Amino acid sequence: MRGQQAFEAYGRRAREYADLLGSISATAAEDRALVERWASAIDGPVLDVGCGPGHWTAWLRELGVDIEGIDPVQEFVDIAAHRHPDCAYRQGTAEALGVPSASLGGALVWYSLIHTEPSGLPAAFAELARCIRPGGGLLLGFFEGSAVEPFGHKVATAFTWPIADLARLLDDAGFIIEHAHARTDTGARPHGAIVATRASGA
């Protein structure tokens, strides 16, 4: 199971990763603007799915968002809880969010499915569709590319995704695409983001 391997790899390098990338100042200003704009329009609790060391969760909580962070890697949950003791973190995966159906106003899934086998994405999107209330929001960040392709990410194999392929899977899962973009920052891999809304009655 590639997912399990990625979790273990992150577990071994959680501290190193957290020190390097686990702060809000290490994120791109454009991404912060997008996440803030998205979160400010959400009505209801937000789940930070794959929260890692918890920096997005804590930053959004400071901005007044009702938010909880979950991550499959226990080491990340421990680091997040230690760094941000006023935030709620627990272990959980994108495929089993551990919340009631239609209970979420939104989910932030920021680079959290990059290691998921392409064939495994529908299960994660189905779980997100189950948990996000109709009209609720989803914000997805990912490595953008012209094809669904694996590449040697420094922690574990990751995949690039064309916007169109993710839009197709999200549409199939019952989401309406509101916004999508690709961007290449200097020295970084192409970045993609999709904002979607849970369709009503789907």
H or E segment to which residue 76 belongs: helix 74-83
Q: How many helices (H) and strands (E) does the chain have?
A: 7, 9
Q: Which one of the spans 7-15, 46-54, 78-86, 176-184 is the region binding a copy of itself (CB under 8 A)?
A: 176-184
Considering the complex, what minimum distance in angstroms separates the CB of residue 167 from a copy of itself?
4
Distances (CA, A) of 195 to 19, 25, 71, 145, 146: 28, 22, 21, 18, 19
CA-to-CA distance for 176 and 196, rounded, in angstroms?
Answer: 5
Minimum CB distance to a copy of itself smaller for 123 or for 177: 177
Minimum CB distance to a copy of itself smaller for 67 or for 170: 170
How big is the site for a copy of itself, counted in residues (CB under 8 A)?
17
Name residues contacting a copy of itself, limited to 142-171 (CB under 8 A). Answer: 146, 162-165, 167-168, 170-171
The answer to the question of residue 82 lying near a copy of itself (CB under 8 A) is: no
Considering the complex, what minimum distance in angstroms separates the CB of residue 99 from a copy of itself?
25
H or E segment to which residue 91 belongs: strand 88-91
Phi, psi dihedral angles at 134 (to 5 degrees): -55, 130
Minimum CB distance to a copy of itself smaller for 117 or for 171: 171
Considering the complex, what minimum distance in angstroms separates the CB of residue 33 from a copy of itself?
15
Contacts of 85 (CB under 8 A, 6+ apart): none
The answer to the question of residue 12 lying near a copy of itself (CB under 8 A) is: no
Q: If you compute the radius of gyration of the chain from its CA atoms, what whole number of angstroms results?
A: 15
- Tokens 């919340």 belong to which residue? 99
Considering the complex, what minimum distance in angstroms separates the CB of residue 97 from a copy of itself?
23
Minimum CB distance to a copy of itself smaller for 44 or for 162: 162
Considering the complex, what minimum distance in angstroms separates the CB of residue 10 from a copy of itself?
30
Among 122, 135, 176, 189, binds a copy of itself (CB under 8 A): 176
CA-to-CA distance for 8 and 25, rounded, in angstroms?
Answer: 26
Which residues form the interface with a copy of itself (CB under 8 A)? 146, 162-165, 167-168, 170-171, 176-182, 199
